[in-house]
Amino acid sequence: MENRVTHVPCILMPKKDCDLSKWAVIACDQYTSQPDYWAETDRIVGTAPSTLRLTLPEVYLEDADVASRTEKIHQTMHQYIAEGTLQAMPAGMILTERFSGGSCPRRGLVLAVDLEAYEYGAGSQSLIRPTEKTVVERIPPRLKVRQGACIELPHIMILIDDPDRAIIEPLFDKTQDFAQVYDTDLMQNGGHITGWFIPQGKETEDIEDKLAALCDRETFNKKYGCTDAQALLPYAVGDGNHSMATAKAYWEEVKKDLTSEEQENHPARYVLVEVVNIHDESLIIEPIHRILFGVDADALLSDLIDFYQQHGCKAYTASAAVDNAHCYPFLAEGKKGVFVVENPQWSIPVATIQAGLDEYLAQHSSVKIDYIHGEDVVCSLAEKQGNFGFILPDIAKNDLFRGVVFDGVLPRKTFSMGEAHEKRYYMEAKMIVK
């Protein structure tokens, strides 16, 4: 089917007698300022087979011994394959359910996607796109880990916008028809995860058809209120974008030495991901607020008003929110109100305010900004002299897709999706070499 960018992989899973509670370790880009977390993880794992030995926690990325750590990772990968610690399953997908302390589980589908359909650069029109800006400087150190690796372990989460819950959710009514491949507690407050294997066949064909149907132009235009001028966006990278970008950079290296025929089914072309419906009830999308330090409140508001007026908007301060406008409650020492932007040129509120703040910060190098999760923290900080806080509105789930469709990648720190312990744990693996 046209616009099909998914791929049914041959997934690697640990052998039957492996202790999965020690095998599964949280994504390497978490707890980057907490070496104690990783020291405790190392203690828990001990000498047991573990994905801890196959990945490089980013807390160690700047250490002097990073090269020897990387070499050891590569050796362990080959060892796990040679000794049968990791074993290839038949082609198929894994349906996964993760309880991590909330009122309901996160439900996803592990499969592969085509890196030829993903671009992370500014202005990307590809079918798979990041939700937030990719910091290219973060790719080279990660690329060194991938170069020389024979397998990959995914913590990438790909979001789909399926408000009818017609693709992933119905599969959980059929779990009795699928073989259970894992069912384990996760270390370090990670909760519990269960997975079922869906072998390649009619079921996976149906899944891929439904995913490809997200590209139906008429349905897409109606969903987002757009025209054919906007590029289709069936898949948005919600988590692990720098890992995805690293996989892309590696594939671009590899394919230079391949013929067109060899490129078609090379394992490095496809990256293992967990596909999750953004309407999954477990996904809590929270706004991230803004606080500025070392700023004159009146001058800031005046400059922002000028900025938006120059961009064809009407901007002003008010005592309450206004309908059909982008509105931001603000606080400073002895001052509070609502900053209003009417006729915004950006599709979602966070893009509107960040555009103005970026311009202001570029003109005022002494002013600093921070990104805050809780309103109470913003209120506390904004009471101090020279500080200024903006409270951002809640984010509608399909606004994430709409924002990328109309504005391109969203501003950094647009939203928060789950706490650190809820992030993906490594479980499945896939070969990336022939």
| 43: amino acid identity, one letter | R
Compute the Cα dihedral for 15, 61, 266, 136 and give only its sign: positive
Q: How many CA atoms lie within 13 A of 316 on its CB side?
A: 8
Q: Which two tokens stand for residue 121?
A: 């650069």
Helix (H, G, I), strand (E, B) or coil at 281: coil
| 29: amino acid identity, one letter | D
Q: Are 89 and 191 in contact (CB under 8 A)?
A: no
Enter the pTM of the model: 0.86
Dihedrals phi, psi of 31, to nearest 5 degrees: 55, 45
On the question of pLDDT at 1 being above 70, the answer is: no
Task: Give the helix/strand (H/E) hosting 86.
Answer: strand 86-99
- Which among 321, 342, 344 has a CA at the least distance from the CA of 391? 321
Q: Which two tokens stand for residue 44?
A: 């828990």
394-429 per-position pLDDT tens digit:
888 878 898 889 888 887 778 777 788 899 999 999
Count the neighbouring beta carbons within 10 Å of the beta carbon of residue 175.
14
Kindly provide the b/e burial profile for residues 411-420, where b requires at least 16 CB atoms within 10 angstroms of the residue's own CB.
bebbbebbee
357-400 per-position pLDDT tens digit:
999 999 999 999 998 888 998 999 999 999 999 999 988 887 88
Report the relative pairing of strands 128-130 and 235-239 from DSSP bridges. Answer: parallel
Kindly state the DSSP code that residue 215 receives in the 8-state scheme: G
**What is the per-residue pLDDT for 418?**
78
**What is the per-residue pLDDT for 249?**
96
Domains, the chain: 6-284+418-431 (no CATH), 289-391 (3.30.1760)
Q: Which two tokens stand for residue 188?
A: 């370090």
